């Protein structure tokens, strides 16, 4: 961070600036960074380049560093530009920093400042100047890059133990605003029906003391037909909430102004928001539709709808849905909502070439059936478009770990015309029990009830 400040200081001294169409922001991991940047006299130079402090912690990585100018957004969308972000965080999934950033690169803080000044990622810092100084001469990165000795001397002089003690002395008491919150003293949380941030989770809404019989998945439609390289970022709601998305429309219906939408990360305690934000990534590639984005085909009507809107229509009709996936289905961070967000819109099974370990386990934990195509097979090789009707035989719950499962395929309104076999990815006896209970939450609660009966 101090290296970034030194690069900024040297750049400003040379008369370098950041172009107005380049968005810049600073979101340190701790208030300590603010203290040592100020102590070293480097924050003014960062401010001069637009690296003003906008927040702390998980800000840029989750899309909370602010929007880009509307003129820039309009130009990107009008010309279908591929624009990129450079950040010193730990998430570089496409669309995460902002829905319009298709390419996101991780770099050290000093290089983030350098790329902002250059205004492009298509640059060779060794041979190309980073900009033109106030004297009209080209300036190269090497001209503003601090030496290791200078960086270390700045650290020694300005990163002080007292800064850490001061910042963390009150960390458990919170801010004045936090302390002013009116909270009832109770062992049970007082749910507020009007809240758009936290909602009573619906996972136990239909829970009965005794397990329900396992039924075959009959006449299910395909909600999504996905290929390889689908990550949790394509599924788990992350980043800002757009006005015309299902989540945005729901918030507007609750009287929340667009300026107060905040982000999916901030509203992850409300299932109505998160369910609507699942699969809402603007870079999702779904073979059921021609255009990249968070839409799908509602097969019975032939309409292209937002994914949640299609799922809701299927649920209202009492129609189960499945997802077709490719290889290594869903690696990445925030894996919990990747599974919960698949469960809430009514997905009952995922048929993929292979699963990422944690996501497969989480699907089982939500009572969703994970199935793997046989070796050498996938949806395309089997001639599946996703417009078929799928029926999966679960033998009334009389299942074995890793057994073969038959899937029957039919065209809508017709008798089954194709059949293929998958491997049931319930990999342990415990996972089998989770599934038979409708998920791990139901399994745990039933065990607790049995112990206190």
**Is the Cβ–Cβ distance between 331 and 359 less than 8 Å?**
yes
Q: Are residues 60 and 123 in the same domain?
A: yes
Concatenated DSSP letters of 417-432: -EEEEEEE---SHHHH
Q: Are residues 288 and 152 in the same domain?
A: no
Q: Are residues 229 and 85 in the same domain?
A: no
Please indicate, yes or no, if residue 70 is contained in any of the structural domains.
yes
Please indicate, yes or no, if residue 258 is contained in any of the structural domains.
no
The whole-angstrom separation of Cα 258 and Cα 376 is 47
> What is the SS3 assignment for 436?
helix
Supply 384's token pair: 């599946």
- Domain final residue pick, 110, 135, 168: 168
The whole-angstrom separation of Cα 404 and Cα 423 is 5
Instruction: Provide the pLDDT for residue 139.
Output: 98
Q: Are residues 104 and 230 in the same domain?
A: no
Of the candidates 255, 258, 274, which has an alpha carbon nearest to the alpha carbon of residue 266? 274
**Radius of gyration for the chain, computed over Cα atoms and rounded to the nearest angstrom:** 26
Q: Are residues 312 and 393 in the same domain?
A: yes
* pTM given for the model: 0.83
Which tens digit of pLDDT belongs to each residue from 388-426? 999 999 999 999 999 999 999 999 888 878 999 999 999
Buried b (16+ CB within 10 A) or exposed e, 283-322: bbbbbbbeeebbbbbbbeeeeebbbbbbbbebeeeebbbb
The whole-angstrom separation of Cα 299 and Cα 322 is 12
Instruction: Provide the pLDDT for residue 96.
Output: 76
Instruction: Provide the pLDDT for residue 389.
Output: 97
Supply 37's token pair: 């940047």
Nearest-5° Cα angle at 427, 334 to 352? 60
Q: Are residues 90 and 225 in the same domain?
A: no
Please indicate, yes or no, if residue 14 is contained in any of the structural domains.
yes
Please count the other Cβ atoms lying within 10 Å of the Cβ belonging to residue 25: 18
Residues of the chain with confidence (pLDDT) below 50 = none
Of the candidates 102, 87, 67, 104, which has an alpha carbon nearest to the alpha carbon of residue 261? 67
The distance of Cα 6 from the centroid of its chain, to the nearest Å, equals: 33
Please indicate, yes or no, if residue 195 is contained in any of the structural domains.
no
DSSP β-ladder status, 418-424 and 369-373: antiparallel
Instruction: Provide the pLDDT for residue 263.
Output: 85
Q: Are residues 9 and 112 in the same domain?
A: yes
Concatenated DSSP letters of 302-334: TEEEEHHHHHHHHHHTT--EEEE--SSB--SS-
Total structural domains within the chain: 2
Q: What is the CATH number of the domain that holds 222?
A: 3.20.19.10
């Amino acid at each position: 961070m101090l290296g970034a400040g030194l690069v900024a200081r040297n750049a400003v001294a040379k008369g370098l600036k950041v172009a107005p169409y380049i968005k810049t922001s600073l979101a340190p991991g701790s208030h300590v960074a603010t203290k040592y940047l100020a102590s070293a006299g480097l924050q003014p130079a960062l401010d001069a380049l637009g690296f003003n402090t906008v927040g702390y912690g998980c800000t840029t990585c989750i899309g909370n560093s602010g929007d880009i100018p509307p003129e820039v957004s309009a130009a990107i969308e009008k010309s279908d530009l591929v624009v990129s972000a450079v950040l010193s965080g730990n998430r570089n999934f496409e669309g995460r920093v902002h829905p319009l950033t298709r390419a996101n690169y991780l770099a050290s803080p000093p290089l983030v400042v350098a790329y902002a000044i250059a205004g492009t990622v298509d640059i060779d810092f060794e041979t190309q100047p980073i900009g033109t100084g106030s004297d009209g001469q080209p300036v190269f990165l090497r001209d503003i890059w601090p030496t290791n000795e200078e960086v270390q001397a700045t650290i020694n002089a300005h990163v002080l133990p007292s800064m850490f003690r001061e910042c963390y002395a009150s960390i458990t008491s919170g801010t004045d605003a936090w302390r002013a919150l009116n909270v009832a003293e109770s062992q049970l949380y007082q749910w507020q029906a009007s809240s758009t941030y936290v909602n009573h989770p619906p996972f136990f809404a239909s829970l009965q003391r005794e397990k329900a019989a396992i039924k075959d998945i009959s006449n299910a439609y395909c909600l999504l037909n996905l290929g390889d390289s689908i990550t949790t970022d394509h599924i788990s709601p992350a980043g800002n909430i757009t006005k015309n998305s299902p989540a945005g429309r729901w918030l507007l219906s609750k009287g929340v102004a667009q300026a107060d939408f905040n982000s999916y990360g901030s509203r992850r305690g409300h299932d109505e928001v998160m369910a609507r934000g699942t699969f809402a990534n603007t870079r999702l590639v779904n073979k059921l539709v021609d255009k990249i984005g968070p839409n799908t085909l509602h097969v019975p009507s032939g309409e292209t709808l937002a994914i949640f809107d299609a799922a809701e229509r299927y649920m209202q009709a009492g129609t189960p849905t499945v997802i077709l996936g490719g290889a290594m289905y869903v690696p990445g961070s925030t894996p919990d909502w990747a599974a919960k967000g698949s469960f809430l819109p009514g997905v009952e099974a995922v048929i993929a070439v292979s699963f990422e370990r944690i996501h497969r386990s989480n699907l089982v934990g939500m009572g969703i059936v994970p199935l793997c195509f046989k070796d050498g097979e996938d949806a395309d090789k089997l001639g599946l478009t996703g417009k078929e009707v799928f029926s999966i035989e679960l033998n009334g719950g009389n299942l074995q770990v890793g057994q073969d499962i038959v899937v029957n395929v039919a065209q809508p309104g017709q008798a089954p015309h194709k059949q293929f076999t998958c491997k049931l990815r319930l990999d342990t006896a415990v996972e089998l029990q989770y599934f038979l209970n409708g998920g791990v939450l139901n399994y745990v609660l039933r065990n607790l009830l049995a112990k206190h009966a």
